[in-house]
């Protein structure tokens, strides 16, 4: 029958976000996971939103092109400060400026410099929006999202929810402003559009992103876990997998045995306390994890039962 074509629901890329404290192995695990999916023929993007990214370094890929092609199935992209500022400017800059310029007489470039340096939260908003759009474009089956250390990432995850709350107030305050010469309607439309966008971003984070938290078996990292889980849960974000990296397998050396004993205390604690979550231990390797062959070793640990078909 012509004319009765049903529109099929959008197909989202599978998004997996790796987060955790600085230096615990987020990028290494993200890179090994991206390599895994790509090795199974699934088109995959490893994407870093860390202002000081290291994916290219880990894959040993020099050059400046973005995204970089690793092979037919695997691409990497690193969004540095400059790209994010530019993309934010392209997508949201004019809107925010239009609202702002009704109160303050300021020129556009000055305004962009001000907002992107003073209000980093607005950029975080952009980041979630960017990945949401990317996951809808059908360019990739998997997006492996490597993030900045936890503090920054929690701020990023907080931003859409915070904006929804703040923007609830915005129309009321705005309509009360004594801006007699200004037509308030377009601005109210912008505010409503932002609210809708922020809600969509929260839904995206809740429903379409798999959260993997990376940690190490040491006091400070383990003590922070509860608070991280709580902060994520506040936004309805659930951790799907906990990777405990740098686990020392003791050999003959007294030094390593002592380190392993110390770690055992924290490993036991983690397994008992977070028993409802998938936990994967990754050993500490005696060499740097750089390049395809080394990442393959990490992949084998992260995906021990992998088959070609089932991934």
Please list every residue from 276 through 295 that binds ligand ATP, using CB under 6 A.
282, 284-285, 288-289
Residues near Mg ion (CB under 5 A): 26-27
- Does 23 contact ligand ATP by CB under 6 A? yes
- Does 50 contact ligand ATP by CB under 6 A? yes
Q: What distances in angstroms separate CA 303 from CA 100, 143, 245, 297, 298, one per listed residue?
A: 50, 17, 14, 10, 9
Cβ proximity to ligand ATP: between 149 and 171 the closer is 149
Cβ proximity to ligand ATP: between 20 and 93 the closer is 20
Decide if 241 contacts 280 (C-beta within 8 A). Answer: yes
Q: In sequence order, which ranges of the chain are alpha helices (DSSP H)?
A: 26-39, 55-58, 81-88, 94-101, 108-118, 120-136, 150-176, 185-208, 219-233, 254-273, 292-302
Decide if 59 contacts 291 (C-beta within 8 A). Answer: yes
Span of 21-29, 67-75, 110-118, 236-244 interacting with ligand ATP by CB under 6 A: 21-29
**What's the closest the beta carbon of residue 204 comes to ligand ATP, in angstroms?**
23
**What's the closest the beta carbon of residue 23 comes to ligand ATP, in angstroms?**
4
**What's the closest the beta carbon of residue 235 comes to Mg ion, in angstroms?**
22
Residue 149 contact, options Mg ion, ligand ATP, none, Cβ 5-8 Å cut-off depending on partner type: ligand ATP
Cβ proximity to ligand ATP: between 134 and 295 the closer is 295
CA–CA–CA angle 266, 242, 151 (5° rounding):
90
DSSP string, 158-221: HHHHHHHHHHHHHHHHHHHS--TTS--HHHHHHHHHHHHHHHHHHHHHHHHEEEEEEE-SSHHH
Residue 123 contact, options ligand ATP, Mg ion, none, Cβ 5-8 Å cut-off depending on partner type: none
- Does 54 contact ligand ATP by CB under 6 A? yes
Query: What is the spatial distance between Cα 295 and Cα 171, in angstroms, rounded to a whole number?
Result: 51
Residue nearest to Mg ion (CB): 27
Query: What is the spatial distance between Cα 260 and Cα 234, in angstroms, rounded to a whole number?
Result: 34
Binding residue for ligand ATP, selected from 246, 295, 299, 303, defined by CB under 6 A: 246
Binding residue for ligand ATP, selected from 15, 17, 26, 217, defined by CB under 6 A: 26
Cβ proximity to ligand ATP: between 91 and 259 the closer is 259
Cis peptide bond N-terminal to 67, omega within 30: yes
Interface residues toward ligand ATP, by CB under 6 A = 20, 22-28, 50, 54, 149, 245-246, 282, 284-285, 288-289
């Amino acid at each position: 029958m012509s004319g009765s074509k049903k529109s099929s629901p959008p197909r989202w890329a599978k998004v997996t976000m790796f987060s955790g404290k600085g230096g615990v192995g987020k990028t290494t695990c993200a890179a090994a996971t991206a390599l895994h999916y790509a090795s199974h023929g699934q088109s995959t993007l490893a994407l870093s939103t860390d202002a000081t990214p290291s994916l290219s370094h880990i894959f040993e890929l020099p050059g400046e092109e973005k995204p970089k092609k690793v092979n037919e199935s695997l691409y990497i992209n690193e969004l540095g400060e400059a790209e994010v500022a530019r993309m934010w400017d392209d997508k949201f800059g004019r809107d925010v400026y239009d609202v702002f310029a009704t109160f303050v007489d300021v020129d556009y470039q000055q305004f962009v410099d001000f907002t992107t340096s003073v209000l980093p939260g607005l950029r975080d908003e952009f980041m979630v929006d960017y990945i949401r759009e990317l996951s809808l474009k059908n360019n990739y089956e998997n997006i492996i999202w490597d993030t900045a250390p936890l503090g920054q990432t929690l701020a990023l995850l907080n931003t859409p929810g915070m904006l929804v709350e703040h923007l609830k107030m915005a129309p009321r305050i705005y309509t009360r402003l004594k801006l007699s010469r200004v037509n308030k309607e377009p601005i109210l439309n912008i505010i409503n559009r932002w609210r809708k966008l922020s809600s969509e971003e929260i839904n995206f984070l809740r429903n379409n992103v798999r959260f993997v938290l990376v940690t190490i078996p040491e006091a400070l990292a383990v003590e922070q876990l509860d608070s991280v889980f709580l902060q994520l849960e506040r936004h309805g974000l659930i951790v799907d997998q906990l990777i405990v990296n740098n686990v020392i397998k003791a050999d003959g050396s007294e030094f390593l045995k002592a380190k392993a004993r110390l770690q055992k205390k924290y490993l036991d604690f983690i397994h008992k306390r977070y028993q409802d979550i998938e936990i994967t231990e990754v050993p500490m390797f005696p060499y740097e994890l750089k390049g395809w062959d080394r990442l393959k070793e990490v992949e084998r640990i992260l995906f021990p039962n992998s088959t070609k078909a089932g991934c």
